[in-house]
C-alpha cells in the first residue's frame, strides 16, 4: 500500500480536542509531515493552529487563554425572553443563550486577521448550513469567521452569519469530517474523534436538549465513519484517546492530561505508521 497525501482530521469534542496536540507531538517527533488538516467544532481550533504552523506549547497556551468558563458567563437575556415569549420579544434563527461577544473577542485574540491563505498547509474547517443542513467546508476567508461558525454550539452560541448564509456547529452535519479529506485527495487519513458525552443527570431543559443532541450526533458519527471506512480507497487510521476521568466543556485545567492521553493513543499507531511510510517509500 503506497500513499502520497497524509491528512489529519480532528473531530468535534470541545476540550477533548486538545488531544490532537498530543498526536501532533508524536507526529513531529517521528518526522511525519501532514499534507492537509481538517477540523470540526472544537477540532477546528486545533486544526487552524496546526495549519498555521505553531508549536504544541503555543497552541496549549492559546487554548488556556481562549477556552475558559468565562466565555459562557454572560447570558443572552434577550434570547431567553424571546424563547419564552416569542411574539413579544421576537424569535429568530440567531438564537443562543450565551452572549457571544467574549468568545468572539477571544477568537480574534487567537487568530487576529489571519486567513486560510496564512496556513502553511491546506486547511479545511467545517460548519453546517442552518437552512439546508448541508455541511459547509471553509478553505478561504477569515479564520475567525470559520472557527466561530464551526463552534456555534446549538442553544449556547447563536448561529454565525457569513455573507448571505447562516451557520451552526460543524458536528451537526458530521462530527468527524473524514469525507472532506477523502474528497480533497488524501490517501492516508489519521483521524481523531470523540463521542459526545451523555448527561449524568437531566436536571434542566438545556441538559435535556444536550442529551438529545448527543444521541443524534453520536449516531451520526458512527454512520458517517462506517460509510467513509468503506468508501475510502486507502487507509483511515482512527486514534481514539481513552479518558479515565470525565471531562466537561470548560475543563481547561485538564488540558495537559488530555494532551498526554492523545499522545499515548497516537504512540500506539506509530509502529504501523512507520511501516506504512516504509512501504510507501519502497514502492
Partner 1 sequence: MEIEVTHREQVTIVAIVGSVDGLTAGELSQSFREQVRGGYVRIVGDWSGVEYTSSAGLRALLETVKEARQRGGDLRLAAVQPDVLRVLELAGFTGILKLFPDIEAAVGSFRS
Contact footprint for partner 1 (CB under 8 A): 1, 193, 221-223, 225-226, 228-230, 232, 234-238, 240, 268-269, 272, 275-276, 279
What backbone phi and psi angles, to 5 degrees, belong to 258? Answer: -60, -45
Inter-residue contact 11 to 183 (CB < 8 Å): no
Rounded Cα distance between 190 and 264, Å, is 15
Residue among 84 and 226 whose Cβ is closer to partner 1: 226
Report the residue number, 83 or 237, with the smaller CB distance to partner 1: 237
Q: How far is the CB of 172 from partner 1 (least distance, A)?
A: 19
- In the bound state with partner 1, the residue whose beta carbon lies nearer, of 200 and 283, is 283
3-class state of residue 36 by DSSP = strand
| C-alpha torsion sign, points 258, 153, 104, 69 | negative
Please tell me the number of Cα atoms within 13 Å of 88 on its side-chain side. Answer: 8
Q: How far is the CB of 16 from partner 1 (least distance, A)?
A: 15
Q: Which of 15, 70, 5 is nearest to 45 (CA)?
A: 15
Q: How far is the CB of 189 from partner 1 (least distance, A)?
A: 8
Query: What are the grid coordinates assigned to 85, written together?
Result: 415569549
For partner 1, which is the closer residue by CB, 82 or 173? 173
Choice between 237 and 249, CB closer to partner 1: 237
Q: Which is nearer to partner 1, 5 or 64 (CB)?
A: 5
Closest among 164, 176, 195 to 135, alpha carbons compared: 176
Least distance in angstroms from the C-beta of 269 to partner 1: 8
Report, in Å, the least distance between residue 256 CB and partner 1.
24
Under 8 Å between Cβ of 11 and 40: yes
For CA atoms 145, 43, 197, 218, give the dihedral sign.
Answer: positive
CB of 198 to partner 1, least distance (A): 15
Q: Hey, what's the cell of 65? A: 487563554
Amino acid at each position: 500500500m503506497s500513499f502520497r497525501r497524509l491528512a489529519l482530521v480532528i473531530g468535534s469534542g470541545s476540550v477533548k480536542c486538545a488531544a490532537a496536540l498530543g498526536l501532533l507531538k508524536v507526529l513531529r517527533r517521528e518526522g511525519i509531515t501532514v499534507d492537509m488538516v481538517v477540523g470540526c467544532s472544537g477540532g477546528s481550533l486545533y486544526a487552524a493552529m496546526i495549519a498555521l504552523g505553531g508549536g504544541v506549547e503555543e497552541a496549549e497556551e492559546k487554548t488556556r487563554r481562549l477556552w475558559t468558563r468565562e466565555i459562557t458567563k454572560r447570558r443572552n437575556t434577550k434570547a431567553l425572553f424571546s424563547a419564552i415569549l416569542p411574539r413579544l420579544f421576537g424569535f429568530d434563527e440567531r438564537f443562543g443563550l450565551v452572549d457571544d461577544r467574549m468568545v468572539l473577542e477571544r477568537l480574534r485574540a487567537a487568530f487576529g486577521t489571519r486567513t486560510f491563505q496564512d496556513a502553511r498547509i491546506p486547511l479545511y474547517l467545517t460548519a453546517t448550513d442552518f437552512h439546508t443542513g448541508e455541511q459547509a467546508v471553509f478553505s478561504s476567508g477569515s479564520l475567525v469567521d470559520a472557527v466561530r461558525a464551526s463552534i456555534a454550539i446549538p442553544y449556547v452560541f447563536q448561529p454565525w452569519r457569513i455573507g448571505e448564509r447562516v451557520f451552526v456547529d460543524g458536528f451537526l452535519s458530521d462530527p468527524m469530517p473524514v469525507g472532506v479529506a477523502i474528497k480533497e485527495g488524501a490517501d492516508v487519513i489519521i483521524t481523531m474523534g470523540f463521542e459526545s458525552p451523555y448527561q449524568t443527570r437531566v436536571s434542566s431543559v438545556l441538559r435535556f436538549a444536550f442529551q438529545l443532541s448527543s444521541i443524534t450526533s453520536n449516531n451520526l458519527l458512527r454512520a458517517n465513519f462506517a460509510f467513509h471506512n468503506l468508501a475510502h480507497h486507502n487507509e483511515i487510521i482512527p486514534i481514539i484517546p481513552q479518558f479515565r476521568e470525565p471531562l466537561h466543556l470548560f475543563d481547561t485545567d485538564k488540558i495537559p492530561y488530555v494532551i498526554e492521553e492523545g499522545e499515548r493513543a497516537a504512540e500506539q499507531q506509530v509502529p504501523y505508521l512507520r511501516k506504512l511510510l516504509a512501504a510507501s517509500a519502497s514502492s
